[in-house]
Amino acid sequence: MPARPRTLHFNLFLHDTGHHEASWRLPGADPTSNLSLAAHQHLARVAEDAKFDSIFLADSPVLWSDPGRRPSGKLEPTVLLAALAVSTSRIGLIGTASTSYNEPYNLARRFASLDHLSGGRAGWNIVTTAGEGAARNFGLDDQPLHRARYERADEFLDVATKLWDSWSDDAVVADKASGVHALGSHVRPAGHEGEFFRVAGPLNVPRSPQGYPLLVQAGSSEDGKEFAARWAEAVFTAQPTLEESQAFYADLKRRAGAVGRDPDGVVVLPGIVPVIGETEAEARELDAQLDRLIAPQYALTTLARTLKVDPHRLSLDEPLPLDLPDEDEIEGAKSRRTLIVDWARRDRLTVRELIGKLGGGRGHRTFTGTAVQVADTIQHYFENGAADGFNIMPAVLPSGLEAFASQVVPILQERGLFRTEYEGTTLREHYGLARPRNRHDDGAGVPELGRVTAGVA
Q: Which of 449, 423, 452, 421 is nearest to 436 (CA)?
A: 449
List the one residue out of 230, 256, 257, 235 whose CA is nearest residue 245.
Answer: 235
Q: What is the 3-state secondary structure (H, E, C) of 131-157?
A: CHHHHHHCCCCCCCCHHHHHHHHHHHH
Is 98 part of any known ligand binding site?
no
Three-state DSSP at 438 gives coil
Q: Determine the residue type at 108.
A: A
Residue 16, marked binder:
no
Positive or negative, the CA dihedral 38, 44, 48, 51 is: positive
Chain length of the chain: 457
Decide if 28 contacts 404 (C-beta within 8 A): no
Q: Is 59 flagged in the annotation as binding?
A: yes
CA separation for the pair 362, 339 (Å, rounded): 10
Burial of 423 (0-12, 13-18, 19+ CB in 10 A): exposed
| Residue 425 near residue 120 (C-beta atoms within 8 A) | yes
Residue 220 among known ligand-binding residues: yes
What is the distance in angstroms between the CA of the first residue and the CA of the last residue of the chain?
14
Q: How many CB atoms lie within 10 A of CB 191?
A: 12
Q: With the CA atoms of 218, 273, 378 and 421 taken in that order, what torsion angle do they form, in degrees rounded to the nearest 10? A: 80
Q: How many beta carbons lie within 10 A of that of residue 384, not counting itself?
A: 12
User: Residue 4: exposed, middle, or buried by beta-carbon count in 10 A (0-12, 13-18, 19+)?
Assistant: exposed
426 is in an annotated binding site: no
Task: Tell me: is residue 241 an annotated ligand-binding position.
Answer: no
Binding residues: 59, 96, 146, 150, 220-221
Binding residues for FMN: 59, 96, 146, 150, 220-221
